[in-house]
Structure 1
Amino acid sequence: MTTEPSESSDLLRRAGQGDAQALGELLEAHRKRLHRMVRLRLDPRLQGRINPSDVIQEAYLEATKRLAGYLRNPKMPFFLWLRFLTSQKMLELRRHHLGTQARDAARELSIYQGAMPEASSASLAAQLLGKRTTPLQAAIRAEMKLRLQEALNSMELMDREVLALRHFEQFNNAETAQLLGISESGASSRYVRALKRLKDILRQAPGYWER
């Protein structure tokens, strides 16, 4: 049995009793965080073809169908369950749109006995650099993105995942360690190591810290 904040616990209880408004409030509270996750982990080949909001909506429909089963045996916190369902929808859509091209086990992580789309080096680099509008800024961004991707590709997969969870999905260290099945000290050291490598590269970008 997992523990939930008191407000979420009350909403879950009411949702389990058939209160549609409580379920709506519960799902809406997690929408922005899930949107960040989908943007980060959506296969680059599907960017522009699939709207993250549509992925989340499909996951919410699935959550509504399976809520009673979750409440009977909640093996993980509610948000992580929603995140898991959302990741499954992402994988389904990837396989539907890309077919055999999507069968790349290296791009899926086994988390909570299920697959999770990997945060690719390209997605991480794009998120780190943000958007630059002038031609010069765009040129700098393109060069730095390649250098960041090289650095990210040289990292262990677990280091990249720690970076994605801590820096972009806003998990704390304890949550990250639990999710990945590693110690808290291990998660912390991996995060510090990954950040140091990235900061060393980003410092070389003209005007990066002033943008």
Structure 2
Amino acid sequence: MTSQPPPSPGDPRQREHDLLRAAVRGDEKALAQLLKDITPQLRGRVASKISPVWQGSLDADDVLQVTFVEAFLQIEGFTDRGEGSFLAWLSHIADNNLRDAIKALERAKRPDPRKQVHASGNDDSYVALVELLGYTSTTPSRAAARGEVHTALDAVLSQLPPAYEQVIRMLDLEGKAPAQAAEALGRTVGATHMLRARAHDRLRELLGSESRYFSRMS
């Protein structure tokens, strides 16, 4: 197998390599430039995977918006493996987002009552959300647990990206319909479902770090 020659100064590959190295070290401007450069190519890939069935509820830019939020959250774990590796990494994130959005749209047609949070904005809806994500309170008293979960979960939610916090509050805690939340967020219904899936992933991670208040359900 013939290896590629190392990029020379002024080579686009060298520019991308330098930007990636800076982005992994926490340079948000470098990452923003990388995402801007790669948007047309990534958009084309994503658009080709959206079935006509879902094009009224979801478009490529919806997927890219959530993918780019995830890129900022995950870039420190990226490993540059040479030309094309950044596009492959982003494409993997985008594929996961698209798959989750389509699953959520399909579930919305056939809702499973066992997986619904009966939201009311009170302590019970907070407890129901935590349990939906696979956690429970560490407080033995159920009455005390409800209030404690409400306070602790509010603190955890504030650590999420703003769009993630908003979608969880609207759909899981306030009981808004996806169409209502989508309108309030200025997004499509598909994008709203996708945001919720990623927001739940991030919230699970944060709940796991709050061992004083939450533990995994057996």
TM-score with structure 1 length normalisation? Answer: 0.42
- Larger RCO (CA under 8 A, 6+ residues apart): 2
Write 1 or 2 for the structure with the bigger share of helix.
1
TM-score with structure 2 length normalisation? Answer: 0.41
